[in-house]
Amino acid sequence: MQIEWGDAGGLVGAATGIAALVVSVLGNRKARDANRIAKDGNALAEAANALSYQANEIAVGANGLATEANRLAQHQDQRDTERHDVRWEGDWSGPGQYVLSRRGDGVALDVVARVVVDDEEVSERAARVEAGGSITLDFPTARLVFLRELREHREAETGYAPSLAIPVLPDPMRFRMHVIEEWVQWKTELGAPKDHTQEHRLATLGDFE
């Protein structure tokens, strides 16, 4: 059978159209693949940028921590070598009035003082106590006991107790049977914590003279 030229031309045109369609489909597919790859690349780039930003933030934070650590270390060194002359001495200033006197030329900050006389405990606070300053603590029970002992002491000095109408023999240890405990906490000007503890046994509750 012979193919007419017109039919041959139609076949060639159809083949050309199919080829063009195939090329177009393949081209579109490649374009979509390229777009997808480009989008994936952009996403990876954004993720990399985000990680880089986080890394920078972490680095900045680490530098800040290192700076703070150095500052604290320097501050600790200064506290360790700080000259601080503060001492405390306790004594009775009057019946039931116990005074913790500040000695030395330093400054005591955030002071917490606690004194126990026998079974009676009293606490006081002070924001700042300069050199030569003091903290006074009031002991009502110790005051009553001291006044009674003072009367008995005077009776012992005369050798006679009017209330009993009998001779009284002096006993030097009779009024020295008390226990006084001192406890003081404070901070230096650089914030270093300090403390003072002292126990007085065989103590009196005041001056009988």
What CATH number does residue 130 fall under? 2.60.40
For the chain, give the mean pLDDT: 82
Range of the domain at 189: 87-203
Does residue 119 sit in the same domain as residue 196?
yes
Q: Which residues contact 152 (CB under 8 A, 6 or more apart)?
A: 161, 174, 175
Query: Taking the model in full, what pTM does it have?
Result: 0.60
Are 47 and 127 contained in the same domain? no
18 has a pLDDT exceeding 70 = no
> Do 175 and 118 belong to one domain?
yes
Based on the fold, state whether residues 30 and 120 are members of the same structural domain: no
Q: 16 in a domain, yes or no? A: yes
Determine the pLDDT at residue 17. Answer: 64
The string of pLDDT tens digits covering residues 110-153 is 999 999 999 999 999 999 999 999 999 999 999 999 999 999 88
**Is 8 in the same domain as 43?**
yes
Q: Among 75-79, 90-94, 162-166, 170-174, where is mean pLDDT lowest?
A: 75-79
- Cα gap 70→203, rounded to integer Å: 49
More confident site: 175 or 149: 149
Whether 95 and 194 map to the same domain: the answer is: yes
pLDDT score at 73: 47
User: To which H or E segment does residue 116 belong?
Assistant: strand 108-117
What is the three-class DSSP state of 165? Answer: coil
Distance CA 133, CA 105 (A): 11
Give which of 127, 131, 128, 142 is closest to 97, Cα–Cα. 142
Domains in the chain, number: 2
Phi, psi torsion values for 130, nearest 5 degrees = -80, 170
More confident residue, 8 or 34: 34
